[in-house]
A and B are shown apart, each in its own frame.
Chain A
């Protein structure tokens, strides 16, 4: 046995010394970077327009609530930005409890066949294209929703949240938020269901052996365990809601003034819907640029939300393993 440590051979270059493999590896690697290229491309091209818009409008672009093109253009998407957030919030208020209840029911309470049925139901809802939901929302959801809102106004109108001065109950943030909730529920439920389903049975058995009620078991074992995944799922749903365009296109009346909290008052904002709505009647390259800038902020917002969501979900998955 030698006393000195023998010199190690260079294996790395040997592993891919075959010419065909080098070409193969390079091609596959190049293609795999497409995702990065596309993301960067979007950031660059839309960002360029955003910089342009900011240059002419200044930071006011994010804080103004007008949209006048022409002699002395003054445009801002403040109302839209706020509106997108407000709608997403309304949606979350409805979707989070509903999704948590659904996923808990599927994993811990429902008999097996019902649980399977419900999983399929949720997956089916996730598959429905947004245009169909928009169609349904406009024709089927709106009439009863108008009635509910007028009742809300009638009995609870003294709360500023439920004030309505126009008598018009369509195109309200409430309905749009409700539609967004319907789109978010399948996403959040799916993710939560998966995460809760991975709760180690040993922990659950331990709780049950101690005589816990089901609610206590959930509170002390299942939800803490699944917290990361559930939060991640909620953020994924949020990301979807922020970017949703078509489903709420027909049930939201776009106005540029900020509708702060009159959720059953007609009129609200959404960046995505603005882009689609204005696109057909764009007056010229200047306005197009503004829309592209709006798109950039939409892209940025949803990207950040999604990246955070993925980080949370990934990290929670790794920890539990």
Chain B
């Protein structure tokens, strides 16, 4: 593609997408979300829409509440003593914090991958992939198919197909993280939350996982917290920039198409951050 053609494509894309309403159906959304730990307010008035089958990156310096925010999306936040929140989190239009909503059910639909790979160390690779089914009580008869499909989707199948009965502890960090992704996929979530999934991994594994993310986003909505701005550019369609002043709650400074946030941000702080002037 020539430069002119590329620029032409970029302009077309930019002119097509302006208002959130034109982004396509919204799968998950935070509406005016504020979050506390005890008396300390850590997030304020977060409003983000996550369109279906897109990848949204959450960027910002450490400590501004991105990880806390992402944990409110699958109701893991409430497990911390003293946790409180206000506002709504809408999944398929329904507030997930409503009284009779089962958090366990939510976590089946909205899965999570953590910074440190956490496969169950004493289980086999196969056992790990299927553990989500056992733990959530989902009954399926096609275990072998599920194992193969999810490991393939996670980009790990070729490396482990001959040793599915090896223990998960024998795998390298990058392989373990892909195993964890496969495990999360086995319960067929609609949304996958990823909290800095590559920050503990080597560059080769990171690239593999980024490939996986792009593939997965065709069927799943993905939200990824990342410190790595090049990764955000490579992987995401939309980006939200979080910031927190000292002793102040964090909030979203700016959000929108990744190309715009990084190419033409409107806020000076966003510009400074994406240019590496702080963070």
Q: Are A8 and B45 in contact (CB under 8 A)?
A: no
B101 neighbours in A (Cβ, 8 Å): 14, 17
Are B84 and A2 neighbours in the complex by a CB distance under 8 Å? no
What's the minimum C-beta distance from A17 to chain B, rounded to whole angstroms? 6
B103 touches A6 (CB 8 A): no
User: What sequence of 0s and 1s flags, for each residue 25-68 of chain B, a beta carbon within 8 Å of any chain A beta carbon?
Assistant: 00000001010100000001100000000000000000000000
For the residues of A in contact with B, the DSSP-based class is: loop
- Range class of the B interface residue count: 20 to 34
Do residues B75 and A18 form an inter-chain contact, with CB atoms below 8 A?
no
Number of interface residues of A (CB under 8 A): 13
Q: Decide: A6 and B34 in contact? CB cutoff 8 A.
A: yes
**Complex CA distance for A17 and B101, rounded to whole angstroms:** 8
CA separation between A13 and B36, bound complex, in Å?
Answer: 17
Contacts of A9 in B (CB 8 A): 84-86, 97
- Shortest CB-to-CB span from B217 to chain A, Å, is 30
A210 interface residue (CB < 8 Å to B): no
- CA of A1 to CA of B250 in the docked complex: distance in angstroms? 11
Flag whether A32 is at the interface (Cβ < 8 A).
Answer: no
A residues near B, CB below 8 A? 1-2, 6-11, 13-15, 17-18
Contact of A17 among B34, B36, B44, B100 (CB under 8 A): B100
Apart from A6-B86, A8-B36, A13-B99: 15 A-B pairs, beta carbons within 8 A: A1-B44, A1-B251, A2-B32, A6-B32, A8-B84, A8-B85, A9-B97, A11-B78, A11-B83, A11-B85, A14-B75, A15-B79, A15-B103, A17-B101, A18-B104
When distances are taken between beta carbons in the complex, the residues of chain B under 8 Å from A8 are 36, 84-86
Q: Using Cβ atoms and an 8 Å threshold, which residues of chain B touch A17?
A: 99-103
- B87 close to A (CB within 8 Å): yes
Complex interface: chain A residues within 8 A of B32 (CB):
2, 6
Contact flag A18-B103 (CB < 8 Å), given A1-B251, A2-B45, A11-B78: yes
What residue of chain B has the Cβ atom nearest to residue A21's Cβ?
A: B104
Taking CB as reference atom, which chain B residue is nearest A6? B86
Instruction: Note all chain A residues with C-beta closer than 8 A to B83.
Output: 11
Q: Give the CA-CA distance A18 to B44 in the complex, in Å.
A: 29
CB-based nearest A residue for B41: A5
- Given contacts A9-B84, A9-B85, whether A14 and B99 have CB atoms under 8 Å apart is yes
Question: Would you list the 9 A-B pairs with minimal beta carbon distance, nearest first?
Answer: A6-B86, A11-B78, A8-B84, A1-B45, A15-B78, A8-B86, A18-B104, A6-B34, A9-B97
23 A-B pairs in the complex with CB atoms less than 8 angstroms apart: A1-B44, A1-B45, A1-B251, A2-B45, A6-B86, A8-B85, A8-B86, A9-B84, A9-B85, A9-B86, A11-B84, A11-B85, A11-B97, A14-B78, A14-B99, A14-B101, A15-B78, A15-B79, A15-B103, A17-B102, A17-B103, A18-B102, A18-B103
B77 smallest CB distance to A (angstroms): 8
* A165 to B36 Cα, complex, angstroms: 78
